[in-house]
């Protein structure tokens, strides 16, 4: 799936971390990567080779915008073209918010509708996904307005973090993101979990 996308790393706008850095394109891209860092590096190398072909860019990088008193959050300027045709804000995993380009969310919704409604967990997921999704459009300043319920769910106050999550963006409370990183960064470094078998 990753090879279907172009790539953009983190920029200078309010960043606390960059997207994947400058990676030389290895000759042996067909070999299996050894860990998550190498996997992302190779994805970037392949993506740079494929730029200019009209492919969707990946959402990468870490940014630190502030939530204003009206619940508005400025999204990174480099992603605004990707979101210019509309975007969907919904509740994400680990009490973050997910921001999808409208067409990408439509794919997610189409997959969700295939879930068996006789399965209680699947039924609850589809209901929560639909009920918690807010269709938005960026204003002239590149801002989205987050609903009171979305701000409550993600524990957003003022200091926020926006991270790229490959095919969508995530919005976190700054302290919550720091705590999540502290808990999971070592797992990423090791990249040995069985759930990564099909990724690494």
Highest-scoring range by mean pLDDT, 2-16, 33-47, 58-72, 116-130: 58-72
Q: Minimum mean pLDDT among 7-21, 60-74, 142-156, 160-174: which range?
A: 7-21
More confident residue, 186 or 16: 186
Condensed to tens digits (0 to 9), the pLDDT of residues 52-107 reads 444 566 899 999 999 999 999 999 999 999 999 999 999 999 999 999 999 999 99
pLDDT at residue number 188:
74
CB atoms within 10 A of CB 64: 15
Q: Averaged over 18-29, what is the pLDDT? A: 42
Reported confidence tier of residue 187, pLDDT bands at 50, 70, 90: confident
More confident residue, 197 or 175: 175
Q: Minimum mean pLDDT among 25-29, 34-38, 65-69, 147-151: which range?
A: 25-29
Does pLDDT of 47 surpass 50? Answer: no
> What is the reported pTM?
0.69
């Amino acid at each position: 799936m990753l090879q279907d996308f172009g790539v953009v790393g983190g920029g200078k706008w309010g960043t606390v971390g960059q997207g994947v850095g400058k990676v030389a394109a290895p000759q042996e891209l067909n070999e299996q990567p050894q860990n998550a860092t190498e996997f992302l590096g190779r994805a970037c190398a392949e993506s740079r080779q494929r730029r200019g072909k009209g492919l969707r860019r990946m959402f990468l990088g870490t940014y630190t915008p502030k939530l204003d008193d009206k619940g508005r959050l400025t999204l990174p300027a480099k992603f605004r073209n990707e979101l210019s045709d509309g975007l969907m804000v919904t509740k994400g995993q680990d009490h973050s918010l997910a921001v999808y380009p409208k067409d990408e969310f439509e794919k997610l919704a189409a997959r969700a509708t295939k879930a068996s409604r006789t399965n209680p967990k699947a039924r609850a997921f589809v209901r929560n996904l639909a009920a918690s999704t807010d269709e938005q459009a960026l204003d002239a300043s590149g801002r989205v307005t987050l609903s009171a319920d979305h701000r409550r769910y993600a524990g957003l106050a003022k200091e926020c973090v926006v991270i790229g999550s490959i095919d969508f963006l995530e919005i976190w409370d700054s302290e919550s993101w720091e705590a999540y990183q502290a808990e999971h960064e070592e797992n990423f470094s090791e990249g040995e979990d069985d759930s990564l078998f099909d990724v690494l």
